[in-house]
Structure 1
Amino acid sequence: MDAEQESRWAAAQAIGVGEDLVPAALRHLEFLAAVDRRRWLYEGPLLHRAIRRYKACWLPLLAKHNEAAVADEPLVVPLDCEWIWHCHRLNPTRYVKDCKRLYGRMLDSKNVRSSIHAKSKDQSEKVWTELYPGEPFELEYTSPSDDSVYVDDGTAGGISYDLISAVKRQSTFVYQVGTPNMHDRRFLEDALARYKGFLYLIKMNQEKGMNLFRVPTYDVDLMWHTHQLNSVAYCNDMLCLLGKVLEHDDTDDDRAEGKKLDTGFSGTTEQFENSFGVRYWKAGAMYRGSLPSPVTSIPQIFSTSEDDSVSGADKAEKHLTILETTVVELHLQIVDIKNLPSSIPEKSVYVWFTKTKPDAFIRDGGRLDIFTKTGKSIGAGFQCEPTGDLILTVMIDQAYFGASSSSKKPEPLGKVSISVEELTQHDSKLSFERWFELKTCGAYAGSPPVSLRVAASCTVARQAPHVLGMDHIRELVGVTKSSKQPFQLAEFTENKWSFNNSNSSITLDLKPSKDGCINELKYDNKLIKLYRGRRLAYELKCCSQHAEDTAAVTAVKFSAEHPYGKAVALVAAAAVVGAWSWKAPR
């Protein structure tokens, strides 16, 4: 940052926010995850019933509670009503108008608790039952999908906002922000600072009379959503900052090049970086792509009781997790270069990055252009293991000296080493931007030192996807780090998989079931299903050729935490019967 950019950044950080958004964002993420375990609230008859309950039951109850507390404890909102309320509040101007038209004032969330955070629901459930006899306090998947909702025609018909469309838009948001990175306080604290920078740009544009469409990254958007959920604080903060309530327009989802969202994001990136001298693109904050195709629309229901005994299948699972590989996402951008020898054309230089230690995710490295010389500010995003060093080598393209591309190879000018471990360790800020002095080589070894300005950001380390190789041997084996000796986890006999020290078994059936499952294993409060092809987290979406991969099988784990399934391993083989051995993730 130069002095002017530092001044702008300081002004942005002084913007007042009437809520502590970092812990609020963590609660927000927990709520979104709870709703995602109840995807029947995304569409269908139970969504329609939830909307009726919200309009006819929750809003009138909240209005009573805003006038005078209806319970000694904070009022608890049923989860289905909270989800609809959540989506309504994310259009703050419409929410304010609807509340004022129906109740004469904005309905606040003060002294209200989410059902997933409340210590007790007893008082709230009692008040609810007295007001709405026959209507359950909590709406569950097994609830009858009838129309027995207590109906107040004035309230139910007084909201013109299309809540079904709002739910559809918001149901995809949890996938974009449901990553380990978003739960890291360091990441969220930086997200709050970036959100304030985003608001500063909007204020600056307004003061100049410019109506520009500014597009947030997903870390900024998480903070923006969290801010809006405290409706009164958000409106007060925006009136103080802008003199009006800032609209949140999430209706445009066309990301095609040249469209409103694409040009708006490019403009926001340019303005953010020019205004503050810091990068807008950030690892873990960018669009993750469209949602993977689900394996089922029907949740697996599990009992909440815990079995203290540990089955052989659980023991096998614990053995397998010993062999984890961790991975981080890295975003790297070369911002500038200085002290370049005058004999070298500026546009002839670029950077090639590699990694010192063998890495399961990086093979040959890649090319990075220098922003100030090319104007390309995107950089490179990639995955790697959180070990070793990145080697950045400044290369000189000999084509700028009149040599044909085939006659002379690019010549190295110098290199710099950057520690990946330093960037990813627990006390790191997960990002930096600074100058590095190159170690020059070859004919330029005696020249004045050349420096490279590098911007890097990374996610927190997470478990890498498991990829399993399969041979035609009828046993499942594993290896521990301590002994290095293989041991049998399960054996395939008489058309069943039998786990050691366990009564768990699985009957082989290669005929797909209605949901496409070709095999399943039940044990304790868990279920493992095998599906042909790459599914969920293993789905390849880079091109249409990867839509199907019949030579692969995905293991999907179902549990109370993941009722719609979580991909836990990819079996890279054409046959299901065989021995599974661990291979490095690709």
Structure 2
Amino acid sequence: MDEKQAARWAAAQREVEVGVDLVTAARRQLQFLAAVDCRRWFYEGPLLDRAIRRYKACWLPLLAKHTEAAVVVGPLVVPLDCEWIWHCHRLNPVQYIRDCKKVYGRILDNNKIESSTQTELKAQSVKVWTELYPEEPFELEYTSSSHTATDVNSEVAEGISYDLVSAVKRQTSFYYQVGTPTMYDQRFLEQASARYKGFLYLIKMNQEKGMQLFRVPTYDVDLMWHTHQLHPVTYRNDMLKLLGRVLEHDDTDADRSEGKKLDVGFTGTTEQFESTFGVRYWKAGAMYRGNLPSPVTSTPHVFRREAGNGHGSGKAENHLSVLGSTTVELYLQIVDIKNLPSSIPKETVYVLFAKSQPDNFISNSGRLDISAITGKSIGAGFQCEPTGDIVLTLMVDHGSKKSEQIGKVSMPFEELMGRDYKLSFEKWFELKVHGRYVTSPISLRVAASCTVPTMAQHVLRMIRMEPFSLKTCLLPHSFKDPKMSSWISFVDDYGTELIRLQIREHKAKNGMDFIQELVGIVKSSKKQFRLAEFKENKWALTDSSISIVDDSKASNGADGCILQLQGDNTMIKLYRGRRLEYQRKCCNHHSEDESAITAVRFSADFPYGKAISLLDTESELIMVDENWFILPWIVISFLFMYAKGKDGARLLAGTMVRRM
């Protein structure tokens, strides 16, 4: 950022006035969107139609009355379904103002209105609602009828010409893009607010030059833009002061293909933002996450929210000690270089990046070109652990000869994650130069940004260990029985064994039948413990926090579920293929990956399911996102892969599950 760019950035922060605390309001918007996403019956179908009718017939008239003379002491609470339609209506500010003025003669603002997600003190609002609309419930639930008891006033219906069904449809995927831990972070939101002002300043500059350019926001900027628009009177006043008009929010373009309007607009916005302010537009945690994953069900599963999180630990889980790690998404760009010796052609230099210590996510170094040389604002985005240093090595390509190292510099992760840093930086780093270039104070301008740390996924591989191999010598001799199956070891990426499992048989008390048991052993105790037992033609988990549902219908569900597990106020269903968070985003050809089994947890917070683990039956690899489910998933995966019935078919909960 040179002096002119710094002056423009300061002008943007000073001249773009926003009469809303965007950071606080944005966090509330995220909480609201999360609540709506748990009620997807507001997204489409008969209940969406009813919500729109209630919005027109009930909420807007009540809001108009309240803005003239308060109908309750304190804020008026809006029903969630009406708030959702109101939310989508306000995101077209020009149309919302037009509709309000046509029907009510003024803009209906959100002043002294409270979301039902922010307060439980809604008794007065419910009382007023019931008095005005005695046959209309305050909240619209999934089991509610699609019939609206209150007729929509024809004048209101005709006055609001905006296609609210289409408006809702365009917003249904927004929460997937912004509902991440990073978006809730105070530092990230404060920077997003500043970037939003920079975005508006570009529009102001273009307008003053008579240029009509389609500018495309990143998702952190778009979250702030949405937040601003949800305060319609303030947004109108701020835009009139800045631009002399109400800025439209065009969300109708969704085609991100190369060369299309959205792609061209984003490229142009990136170039203008970076050249104007000297600040990178690309930012970790703010970019497009890919298409919304296909749902596993359209029917929500209802749970008691007050009953806890639904995944306590059973006795069996206490045998396993798991050390968790964290991960971040890092975006890295080499912006410029200075003091490069004149003997080195600029176009021959590049930068290698790596971690200074072993990292679960980065095994090799990567290459970055220098943006100022290539003329392209291109960096690298990747996952890594937020520890150690990022090592940058400047290289020169000698063509047919081996590339030569010029120098290197280490950047501590503390520069991004420390208390005084804001998850991003852009600054010069002087290299420690080697050999003949030691007298040259070469520096690299580096831009880096990262997301907040989240728990890393556990990845374990299954390894077959023959009963009499040297690797099993740690086991007591009495356990090495030829009737036993091979031991299966579960190891992490470093080759460290977490646990090993084996199926063994012993005679029942009647002396006639054989009982199969699944036993486990960990190196810390060297003592076997039972994890599951096969009896009555089905496997049952032992001392676990979850159980296999004894219901043949559960394995042939209408939603494609092949097995169901039950916990305390939670349910886990297994589906073939990569589902939800595990769905591949590179293309659509992997969506029905039959070598995979995904476990999806349903709870009060995730009524439509959250993918928590995956089994790849081809590579014999498992992935687990939640620590409490590591041992149960190890057991389920083992049984799915290796437990056999008398006919050789694989048995699980009485269901014939054949290896794919």
TM-score where L is the length of structure 2:
0.82
What is the RMSD of the two structures over their aligned residues, measured on CA atoms? Answer: 2.5
Q: Does 1:432 align with 2:425?
A: yes
- Greater CA drift, 142-151 or 522-531: 142-151
Q: Does 1:22 align with 2:66?
A: no
User: Aligned with 1:329: secondary structure?
Assistant: strand
Q: CA deviation at 1:353?
A: 1.0
Q: CA deviation at 1:360?
A: 1.7
Q: Which runs of 5+ in 2 are unaligned?
A: 463-487, 489-500, 504-517, 621-635, 642-660
Does the 8 A contact of 2:362 with 2:383 survive in 1?
Answer: yes
User: Aligned with 1:291: secondary structure?
Assistant: coil
Does the 8 A contact of 1:8 with 1:276 survive in 2?
Answer: yes
Q: Does 1:200 align with 2:201?
A: yes
Does the 8 A contact of 2:573 with 2:599 survive in 1?
Answer: yes
Q: Could you list the per-position Cα deviations for residues 24-47 of structure 1 after superposition, in whole angstroms to 9, with x for gaps in the alignment? A: 100000000000000111111101
Question: Against the structure 1 CA distance between its residues 519 and 488, is the aligned structure 2 distance closer, same or farther, given a 3 Å change threshold?
Answer: farther
Q: Which runs of 5+ in 1 are unaligned?
A: 582-586
The one-letter code sitting in structure 2 at the alignment partner of 1:520 is Q
Q: Does 1:493 align with 2:485?
A: no
Q: Could you list the per-position Cα deviations for residues 525-554 of structure 1 after superposition, in whole angstroms to 9, with x for gaps in the alignment? A: 111111122111111121344333222221
Equivalent position of 2:445 in the other structure: 453
The one-letter code sitting in structure 2 at the alignment partner of 1:431 is S
Does the 8 A contact of 1:22 with 1:185 survive in 2?
Answer: yes
Q: CA deviation at 1:476?
A: 8.1
- Greater CA drift, 499-508 or 453-462: 499-508
Question: Against the structure 1 CA distance between its residues 486 and 419, is the aligned structure 2 distance closer, same or farther, given a 3 Å change threshold?
Answer: farther
CA distance, structure 1, for counterparts of residue 528 and residue 605 of structure 2: 30
- Greater CA drift, 494-503 or 409-418: 494-503
CA distance, structure 2, for counterparts of residue 311 and residue 114 of structure 1: 32
Equivalent position of 1:51 in the other structure: 52
Does the 8 A contact of 2:546 with 2:568 survive in 1?
Answer: no
Question: Against the structure 1 CA distance between its residues 118 and 477, is the aligned structure 2 distance closer, same or farther, given a 3 Å change threshold?
Answer: farther
Q: CA deviation at 1:60?
A: 0.6
CA distance, structure 1, for counterparts of residue 346 and residue 185 of structure 2: 40
Equivalent position of 2:263 in the other structure: 262
The one-letter code sitting in structure 1 at the alignment partner of 2:341 is P
CA distance, structure 1, for counterparts of residue 71 and residue 160 of structure 2: 24
- Greater CA drift, 378-387 or 496-505: 496-505
Within 5 Å, which residues of 2 pair with 1:215-234? Answer: 215-234=216-235
Within 5 Å, which residues of 2 pair with 1:251-290? Answer: 251-290=252-291
Does the 8 A contact of 1:341 with 1:447 survive in 2?
Answer: no
CA distance, structure 2, for counterparts of residue 308 and residue 364 of structure 1: 39
Q: Does 1:578 align with 2:638?
A: yes
Q: Does 1:419 align with 2:412?
A: yes
Question: Against the structure 1 CA distance between its residues 524 and 502, is the aligned structure 2 distance closer, same or farther, given a 3 Å change threshold?
Answer: closer
Within 5 Å, which residues of 2 pair with 1:346-365? Answer: 346-365=346-365
CA distance, structure 2, for counterparts of residue 577 and residue 218 of structure 1: 38
Does the 8 A contact of 2:310 with 2:568 survive in 1?
Answer: no
Equivalent position of 1:120 in the other structure: 121
User: Aligned with 2:202: secondary structure?
Assistant: helix
User: Aligned with 1:157: secondary structure?
Assistant: helix
Question: Against the structure 1 CA distance between its residues 382 and 82, is the aligned structure 2 distance closer, same or farther, given a 3 Å change threshold?
Answer: same
The one-letter code sitting in structure 1 at the alignment partner of 2:597 is V
CA distance, structure 1, for counterparts of residue 60 and residue 44 of structure 2: 21
User: Aligned with 1:26: secondary structure?
Assistant: helix
The one-letter code sitting in structure 2 at the alignment partner of 1:456 is A
Does the 8 A contact of 1:432 with 1:456 survive in 2?
Answer: yes
CA distance, structure 1, for counterparts of residue 609 and residue 310 of structure 2: 24
CA distance, structure 1, for counterparts of residue 325 and residue 551 of structure 2: 30
Within 5 Å, which residues of 2 pair with 1:309-458? Answer: 312-313=313-314, 322-399=322-399, 403=400, 408-444=401-437, 446-458=438-450
Q: Does 1:558 align with 2:628?
A: no
Q: CA deviation at 1:511?
A: 4.9
User: Aligned with 1:578: secondary structure?
Assistant: helix
Question: Against the structure 1 CA distance between its residues 477 and 189, is the aligned structure 2 distance closer, same or farther, given a 3 Å change threshold?
Answer: farther
CA distance, structure 2, for counterparts of residue 294 and residue 390 of structure 1: 38
CA distance, structure 2, for counterparts of residue 278 and residue 217 of structure 1: 14
User: Aligned with 2:119: secondary structure?
Assistant: coil
Given candidates 565, 580, 597, the residue that maps to 1:521 is 565
Question: Against the structure 1 CA distance between its residues 425 and 204, is the aligned structure 2 distance closer, same or farther, given a 3 Å change threshold?
Answer: same
Query: Which structure has the greater CA radius of gyration?
Result: 2
Q: CA deviation at 1:467?
A: 3.4
Question: Against the structure 1 CA distance between its residues 434 and 232, is the aligned structure 2 distance closer, same or farther, given a 3 Å change threshold?
Answer: same
Question: Against the structure 1 CA distance between its residues 412 and 485, is the aligned structure 2 distance closer, same or farther, given a 3 Å change threshold?
Answer: farther
User: Aligned with 1:117: secondary structure?
Assistant: coil
CA distance, structure 2, for counterparts of residue 257 and residue 308 of structure 1: 44
CA distance, structure 2, for counterparts of residue 98 and residue 468 of structure 1: 57
Does the 8 A contact of 2:324 with 2:455 survive in 1?
Answer: yes
Does the 8 A contact of 1:16 with 1:237 survive in 2?
Answer: yes
The one-letter code sitting in structure 1 at the alignment partner of 2:18 is V
Question: Against the structure 1 CA distance between its residues 147 and 426, is the aligned structure 2 distance closer, same or farther, given a 3 Å change threshold?
Answer: same
TM-score where L is the length of structure 1:
0.92
Q: Does 1:210 align with 2:221?
A: no
Does the 8 A contact of 1:467 with 1:570 survive in 2?
Answer: no
Q: CA deviation at 1:292?
A: 1.0
Does the 8 A contact of 1:424 with 1:461 survive in 2?
Answer: no
Q: CA deviation at 1:161?
A: 0.6
- Greater CA drift, 490-499 or 375-384: 490-499
